[in-house]
Copies of this chain bind each other. A is one copy, B any other.
């Protein structure tokens, strides 16, 4: 047998050698592009460093260092071999450990195209619970490492594992200058339809506001991101190797080649050109790259002898060029996104939109810290090589964007590691912030430094400085416009005098701290000594600037400067709180919100808000799928109210001039404060949820549910990573017939910054903004629900049950905010953007005891901008690169269909904008800051509607002397600005 097979093969070899004098690259023969790759999660079942080192291998065998080691060795052995690498968080760790010789070898492999960086961000980010600020930053630090180190840039977006795909991600890839993007996970019905209609490749028109410059060629992979069945040659696999030594007993070349060609020809039937790509790799594969490459070498050699296909080592970018070279083919288009992702009829991956809400909240908070940190670093022109820097936090945030990080789909110890990394970065950034603020504030070099501390438990009313005596508070505003907002400062007694930077006393309302908050403080900090918070407004804090407020609590009676709140406990009658924008009415019986009136617009709606839970499925006789860290599957569509009937919420009203709030205690584990501030045009709901009880053996998924009287026609809107709004229609998908197998989970969408419903007829919009990503839906007309917390008792095989036990061990307690808006559509368009921007860029508060400090030695106010930016311009990035270069990103934060007042194209004159430096030159870059925009030449594609895309990205040049930047709706522009620091 063995000998016979060998003879047959030799015959076919002889037959085909005649016709194959070289490698075929075009023509009718199918080109099979083998793409050796590894998918290296930047943390998941193990931490990023455990994955890098190969530690904790009993959990999962994975060691990225050896992947890179062995791939580099193997590529060097055969110039045909190729490999792609994706996750720069790992590559940087590895690179830093290499010898010069190895680095030189890698340089050669990169420049000859054998080793290609794909995607090239710090991680392969999640798309459902990330914010566009985080996505851009993480792509940017990866891409800039690549360009700085190798002078090259990736051309392909490679989101092969994220669990659904956002429009902004596609837009980002377009703006990064990528030619295409690829992924694996799309809805099973969508996949089936695309498979049957030869439509796995499409042009994604990802942003109506940006138009065709955001169009991108998008390919859905054939079979996940794995190799063909039986052709995995990794050490993790057990597929038959290519055994081509006929002196041994298991010679199998003919059989393996036949199988492979069959597979390739099947795949080729599905794709539109004579090119197909095979992903030859999988999670953490290539730890011993030798085994893959030796077998692929043989596979290529023997399969090509057959002549019916042309197999080659390739990369996604090379493949895309081949695909693109076929000019006869036109491509379909798509303009919605790829959410939610369902892998099967009862497996909607919509649980992770909310999983680990504390981590999601902390990640968002750290984004604010990072932006402030980078701004101050830039204003200071860096802090020198020895000084603290934002790099740790940049990298920690880069890691946190990973699709098993902020997504909440990692193991607990990995979630803890992400938080730890963020905290380490945050602490270093506090040094940056404190140093720069001191330098900006000090009127002379001999002025003592303010010992600034950052009260990280302010949200549970703990701050040792303000509780300990007289203090100063520095409010740093990272917005490009002045900031006005309310601060809550814990104090021991009800007496305080707060003065503003002009030494004028500001109105202060003293509010008693709730028992709910006190018990949380006790759990988290072991201390709950403060009895009150002083609430006051910080007004018009300058853009990119600070204002210093002073508080006196000791050595005097400052009661006259405060307003004490009026507190009514255990309210049993209807009660209404109001400010100059809203009236919120509460039902005395239930304690729930009953109605909301916008007193400015004169719009009113009944609004009922309540917390419910879904019981999590542990699988049933229809499908074994349970609700887990990824998948949301309630065991029925029934929502269970946290409070009801005899057990309704107990409410307390707290009113005063600056703040009126109703505190609702729904149950021992759910409470909420509904707040109106004097000058804030939104209703703040601060909820506290947990420990979620599971003693009944049932996992629970907690929602905050709002019912209004709006007629919404099954429609609601959610944001895409905090940017373009996406229209959602209940029980419907724009491009295929939706099968409503999971009536709740199948209608959930990611809500990264806001969700709203509209009554088009009445011109009323009800908007909810959040402070972290959550899953949201409108299950019935007029309603919105947001999932705020979840705790499960069973899980998937890998991650286990999502059961966060928290510091007490009883179950994690989370506290978050929703801001409600009820207004007409036009007003809402503006307010939602402004409020979302403020929620994102919350001011940095730092505190110092006033002992030994003379306020007159300090500048109590500073503005980083010579003039505020207009409301439609967001200062997205101000980042120190080197002593003469700063990275600047500005974005237009309105969409083209927003009211004309906000959605017009707007010019920003950069020349004198920044107080700290003079701009000498401006170079426009692609979004990643890694390549000059002028260097990008994109592949062009013909759509089936006869359009050639993408459109040219040719914004008006930013020339001196004024360096005017023009921004159209949703536009983001990125610049290297050459600066000269101004002498103070």
Contact = CB atoms under 8 A, between A and B. Distances in A.
A49 interface: yes
Contacts of A421: 249
Given A73-B73, A249-B49, A55 B290 contact: no
A673 B417 CA distance: 76
A243 to B, nearest CB: 5
A421 B417 CA distance: 55
Contact of A55 (B61, B240, B247): B240
B56 A238 contact: yes
Interface stretch (A62-70, A172-180, A513-521, A733-741): A62-70
Contacts of A921: none
A417 B249 contact: yes
Contact of A50 (B61, B73, B250, B288): B250
Interface of A is mostly: loop
A97 interface: yes
A248 interface: yes
A240 B243 CA distance: 35
A287 B249 CA distance: 21
Interface in A247-278: 247-250
A207 B475 CA distance: 92
A497 to B, nearest CB: 42
Contacts of A73: 73
Nearest to A247: B96
A686 interface: no
A176 B204 CA distance: 74
Given A53-B241, A243-B53, A287 B250 contact: no
A49 B50 CA distance: 35
A760 interface: no
A501 interface: no
Interface residues of A, number: 39
Contacts of A237: 57
A54 interface: yes
A291 B417 contact: no
A245 interface: yes
A192 B568 CA distance: 80
Nearest to A54: B241
A70 B248 contact: no
Q: What is the total number of copies of this protein in its complex?
A: 2
A235 B53 contact: no
Interface string A208-227: 00000000000000000000
Contact of A93 (B66, B241, B248): B248
Nearest to A73: B73
Contacts of A66: 288, 290-291
A578 interface: no
B235 A69 contact: no
Contact of A47 (B97, B240, B249): B249
A58 interface: yes
Given A49-B248, A53-B243, A250-B53, A235 B288 contact: yes
Nearest to A252: B55
> A69, A70, A241, A247 — which one has the most chain B CB atoms within 10 A of its CB?
A241
A283 to B, nearest CB: 15
Contacts of A250: 47, 49-50, 53, 55
> A55, A70, A247, A420 — which one has the most chain B CB atoms within 10 A of its CB?
A55
A52 interface: yes
Contact of A238 (B49, B61, B96, B248): B61
21 contacts: A47-B249, A47-B250, A49-B243, A52-B248, A53-B248, A53-B250, A55-B250, A56-B238, A56-B240, A57-B238, A57-B239, A69-B290, A69-B294, A70-B288, A73-B73, A93-B248, A96-B245, A96-B247, A235-B235, A249-B417, A288-B290
Interface of A: 47, 49-50, 52-58, 61, 63, 66, 69-70, 73, 93, 96-97, 235, 237-241, 243, 245, 247-250, 287-288, 290-291, 294, 417, 420-421
Given A47-B250, A56-B238, A288-B290, 12 more contacts: A49-B243, A53-B250, A55-B241, A55-B250, A58-B238, A61-B238, A66-B288, A69-B294, A70-B290, A93-B245, A96-B245, A288-B288
